[in-house]
Structure 1
Amino acid sequence: MDLLSSFPEHLQDEILTRLDLRDTVRTSALSRAWRRRWETLPGLAVSFPDGTPPSVVDRVLLRYAGPSVSRFKTHVDDDDDDAAYASHVDEWLIALSRRSVESITIYNDYGRNFTVHSSIFSCDRLLSGCPSACSGAAFHRSLSLELSLTDVKFADNGESQFEAMIRASPMLGVLVLEEIYTNDMDRVIEALNLHTLRHTFTPKILEAPNLQYAYQLHGAPAGFVEFLAGVFQVRELIFYVKPCDLKVDAIPFTFSNLKSMELFTDFAEMNNILLMFSLLRTSPNLEKLKIELQRPKMVDNRKFLNAQWTNGMCANLQLVEIISYNGWLPLYFIELILSKASFLRTLSVDMDACPVSQDNQLNELL
């Protein structure tokens, strides 16, 4: 006897929200009428914890007949069969694309290879992705979208499709590209409303006139100056500089808007020091400088460092932060900053260990 259907609808809804999803889809747990009511709810936000079998997700997602699934989140468990789970994920994405999904999160912490079905780019309400370029549908929403790609290998011609997808996404505001594997680095990224770029995969040409924050990780590419030309308007710039990767004597443009710069660099390499001074010379409005040292030594030439300084350099610099993980400080550089940056307010030094054999460094700094 179906007693649940005799309750008022608002009480049925209250009961439903308190039931575990595994119970709601179990045939013996609820009557057919109750199951039909659950399957036709106007919207569904569902989260599956680590270890949920794919069959349970199927019974919830594929059975649900409502008009929308607002949020979908699941965690792939380490004990599940790779091939079986991959096929389920493909089916879930197709089902979600038909239900006006707004947010999809699939955690995959164990290096499984999933192919993202093209239907994902047909989700016209998706807040964390972009429409497919081949769909031709404009993405008109007053939102700043975020697209994050991590540990991705492009299929054949995938780079060109990726370019087209970005170009066809006028509301894309944040683009994160980490551990992107490609054999074709001569890419052109066009994103008119992009304001934040965080990447290890660096395009050859970047056309993003509204870019404000650029974070480049794990080294500088060939054609680094060309890349800098695409981000010259940013307010904040963060990047790693590998030893001997670059030889930049001068940068032929000015970072007029740059207020904050963070470098992960090697003071033992002449090329890195030249690049750092080139950046400082072309950033007249820089207010905050943070440097994380990679190796505990420095080119020991005070005359050389003084020769790199020009009039107006660091004229607006107010905060300098030096981080050393080896108990060593670039005293010549710090002395230069202290003597030249007339508006400096704060000098912050962070060391993981006090130097034992060079404890006079701390005394000299004080």
Structure 2
Amino acid sequence: MRHPAPLPPGFHGLRELRNFTLINVQLQKKGDYQLEKIIATSPALEELTLWDVNIRGRFKEWVIQASNLRFLKICSACDYGWNLGDLPRLDYAVIDVWDYLGGDCDFSKFISSLASVTELCIYTCHPPSNGANMLEELPCTFVNLKNLTLYTHFCELPSILSTFCLLRNAPNLERLKILIYYGEEQKFEANREFQDAQCTDGMCANLQFVKMTGIHWHSNEMSFMELILSKARLLRTLSISYDEECATSNEGALKKLQKYKKASTHAKVIFKGKAGSY
């Protein structure tokens, strides 16, 4: 969809709109005003997806505010000024915004607006635009978060710090799913000692299921799995699959993995073989 028409004069909202999805849309100047008004005047809106929505010209900061919204998905290469307002019923969010990785964008503030969700999917695999670390601290705790999905890797410091930052601030997390993106070459060594230093008391206290897809058996990945096994006292399964371009021997890595100490007597390591597409 390209260049949608402006809102008609006297537009008073879409009272029955429940699902609003924009994919590959080019908005004209002041398109942010249009989106803000449509969302704010749609009281029944439950699902909102903004996927590759581009706004031409200079844009202002605007607010996504919807009292009944339960699902939010934002995927974009750029930050187009969106802020999150009052979303009291939001339960699930998917966030993939490249521009938040450094620059002038306060990603921690944006993510903190999602503190009430029970399920979160976030992409932290993109390299920061200015070399800054993406997430090191958050001004909130995700007390309701039960399921966390990360598209990330353990090859560079920003992505590693982001992963630990989110884990530290999700004390009731039960399910963690990590899909490795851009994880072919390890450029920073985060050994067990380094990763232990990122932990806090109570981190992973309620974690029961961990799934890691597309690993390369890098030392950082191995250290992370060792840490999870040693910290998660309620862990039931650690499921792993390797990337099709992985050059390391599965047999040797698995033998090492099986020797790691487990905090949970019920923990099982499940090897799923080669990862499929994701």
What TM-score comes out, normalization by structure 1 length?
A: 0.60
Contact 1:189–1:205 (Cα < 8 Å) also in 2? yes
Indicate yes or no: 2:147 matched with 1:263: no
TM-aligned CA deviation for residue 256 of structure 1: 0.5
Q: Classify 1:350/1:196 alpha carbon distance in 2 versus 1 (closer, same or farther; 3 Å).
A: same
Q: Which residue of 1 aligns with 2:108?
A: 225
TM-aligned CA deviation for residue 136 of structure 1: 2.5
Distance 1:365 1:253 in 2: 34
Contact 1:159–1:187 (Cα < 8 Å) also in 2? yes
Q: Classify 1:117/1:138 alpha carbon distance in 2 versus 1 (closer, same or farther; 3 Å).
A: closer
Q: Which residue of 2 aligns with 1:362?
A: 254
Distance 2:99 2:149 in 1: 14
Letter in 1 for 2:162: L
Q: Which residue of 2 aligns with 1:152?
A: 25
Indicate yes or no: 2:66 matched with 1:191: yes
Distance 1:264 1:204 in 2: 22
Q: Classify 1:341/1:327 alpha carbon distance in 2 versus 1 (closer, same or farther; 3 Å).
A: closer
Deviations 1:24-76 (A, max 9, x none): xxxxxxxxxxxxxxxxxxxxxxxxxxxxxxxxxxxxxxxxxxxxxxxxxxxxx
Report the 3-state secondary structure (helix = DSSP H, G, I; strand = E; otherwise coil) of the residue aligned with 1:289.
strand
Distance 1:344 1:226 in 2: 31
Contact 2:45–2:68 (Cα < 8 Å) also in 1? yes
Distance 1:185 1:269 in 2: 33
Contact 1:215–1:238 (Cα < 8 Å) also in 2? yes
Indicate yes or no: 2:119 matched with 1:236: yes
Contact 2:168–2:200 (Cα < 8 Å) also in 1? yes
> Which of structures 1 and 2 has the bigger CA Rg?
1
Distance 1:220 1:212 in 2: 24
TM-aligned CA deviation for residue 325 of structure 1: 5.7
Distance 2:9 2:207 in 1: 44
Runs of 5+ consecutive residues of structure 2 not aligned to the other structure: 259-278
> Going by fraction, where is helix more abundant, 1 or 2?
1
Q: Which residue of 2 aligns with 1:39?
A: none
Q: Classify 1:137/1:331 alpha carbon distance in 2 versus 1 (closer, same or farther; 3 Å).
A: closer
Identity %: 34
Report the 3-state secondary structure (helix = DSSP H, G, I; strand = E; otherwise coil) of the residue aligned with 1:159.
helix
Q: Which residue of 1 aligns with 2:275?
A: none
Provide the alpha-carbon RMSD of the alignment: 2.4
Q: Classify 1:353/1:153 alpha carbon distance in 2 versus 1 (closer, same or farther; 3 Å).
A: closer
Q: Which residue of 2 aligns with 1:22?
A: none
Considering Cα pairs closer than 8 Å and 6+ residues apart, tell me whether 1 or 2 has the greater RCO.
Answer: 2
Contact 1:200–1:218 (Cα < 8 Å) also in 2? yes
TM-aligned CA deviation for residue 275 of structure 1: 1.5
Deviations 1:5-33 (A, max 9, x none): xxxxxxxxxxxxxxxxxxxxxxxxxxxxx
Report the 3-state secondary structure (helix = DSSP H, G, I; strand = E; otherwise coil) of the residue aligned with 1:150.
strand
Q: Which residue of 2 aligns with 1:288?
A: 175
Distance 1:230 1:133 in 2: 32
What TM-score comes out, normalization by structure 2 length?
A: 0.78
Runs of 4+ deviating beyond 6 Å: none
Contact 1:243–1:266 (Cα < 8 Å) also in 2? no
Deviations 1:284-324 (A, max 9, x none): 11000011122133624221111111111110000001011
Q: Which residue of 1 aligns with 2:41?
A: 168
Count of matched residue pairs: 239
Q: Classify 1:218/1:170 alpha carbon distance in 2 versus 1 (closer, same or farther; 3 Å).
A: same
Letter in 1 for 2:228: I
What is the correspondence of 1:1-366 to structure 2 with a 5 Å cutoff? 114-117=2-5, 134-136=10-12, 139=15, 141=16, 145-182=18-55, 183-184=58-59, 186-201=61-76, 203-207=81-85, 208-219=87-98, 221=100, 222-241=105-124, 242-244=126-128, 246-294=133-181, 295-296=183-184, 297=186, 299-324=189-214, 326=216, 328=218, 330-353=221-244, 355-359=246-250, 360-366=252-258
Q: Classify 1:341/1:325 alpha carbon distance in 2 versus 1 (closer, same or farther; 3 Å).
A: closer
Distance 2:43 2:61 in 1: 22
Letter in 1 for 2:90: L
TM-aligned CA deviation for residue 184 of structure 1: 2.5
TM-aligned CA deviation for residue 216 of structure 1: 1.0
Distance 2:30 2:3 in 1: 15
Contact 1:240–1:263 (Cα < 8 Å) also in 2? yes
